[in-house]
């Protein structure tokens, strides 16, 4: 009888330890995902504000070239066009190309295209946040599919708008 009690106590202890380990892992994963989601929300807000201010100044008659240049640098620093092979970087490459084009000359068509790109980008970020909130980490395959689908939709929409 004593042996059964001892075995019961040991099993209860082991189950308690296993439960603690699992709870800590889940808690860490949840904390990490929440942290990333919050940073992405801040990124979205900052990007939206910078794009708005950049486009307003770019389309005014008396362009403040100093302010426009400062905003273009801030926008470019939010992007990573370096690895041209990576699927996600075609967004960054296109954004930098449009920013440079807008900086050279006041072209409302390029500004409109940049706005559509940023709208698609912000939508993609939102979809990523929602997906991660529901499922946790998204697989690279899933992320690439989201990016490719959104970029294709961006290109189709630009053609429809004649941009």
Place of tokens 């006041």: 106
Q: What pLDDT score does 9 carry?
A: 85
Sign of CA dihedral 82, 83, 84, 89: negative
Q: Give the number of other CB atoms < 10 A from CB of residue 54.
A: 24
Q: What pLDDT score does 38 carry?
A: 85
Alpha carbons 54 and 58: distance in angstroms, whole number? 6
Radius of gyration of the chain (CA): 24
- What pLDDT, in 10s, does the model give residues 4-13? 888 888 888 8
Alpha carbons 11 and 94: distance in angstroms, whole number? 59
Question: Is the pLDDT confidence value at 87 over 60?
Answer: no
* Single pTM value for the model: 0.76
Asked which of 35-44, 79-88, 126-135 is least confident by mean pLDDT, the reply is 79-88
Q: What pLDDT score does 14 carry?
A: 87
Are the C-beta atoms of residues 33 and 136 closer than 8 Å to each other?
yes
Place of tokens 């900052």: 46
Q: What pLDDT score does 99 carry?
A: 94
Interacting residues of 112 by C-beta distance below 8 A, sequence separation 6+: 161, 163
Which phi and psi (to 5°) does residue 107 adopt? Answer: -130, 105
Percent of the chain with pLDDT over 90: 31
Question: Is the pLDDT confidence value at 88 over 80?
Answer: no
């Amino acid at each position: 009888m004593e042996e059964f009690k001892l075995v019961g106590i040991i099993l209860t202890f082991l189950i308690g330890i296993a439960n603690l380990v699992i709870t800590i892992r889940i808690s860490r994963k949840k904390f990490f995902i929440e942290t990333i989601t919050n940073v992405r929300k801040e990124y979205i807000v900052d990007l939206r504000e910078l794009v708005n201010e950049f486009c307003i100044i770019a389309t005014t008659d008396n362009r403040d070239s100093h302010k426009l240049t400062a905003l273009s640098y801030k926008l470019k620093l939010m992007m990573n066009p370096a690895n041209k092979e990576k699927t996600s970087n075609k967004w960054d490459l296109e954004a930098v190309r449009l920013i440079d084009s807008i900086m050279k000359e006041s072209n409302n068509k390029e500004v409109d295209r940049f706005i559509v790109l940023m709208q698609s980008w912000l939508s993609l970020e939102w979809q990523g946040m929602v997906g991660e909130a529901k499922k946790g980490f998204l697989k690279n395959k899933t992320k690439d599919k989201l990016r490719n689908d959104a970029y294709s939709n961006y290109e189709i929409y630009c053609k429809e708008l004649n941009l």
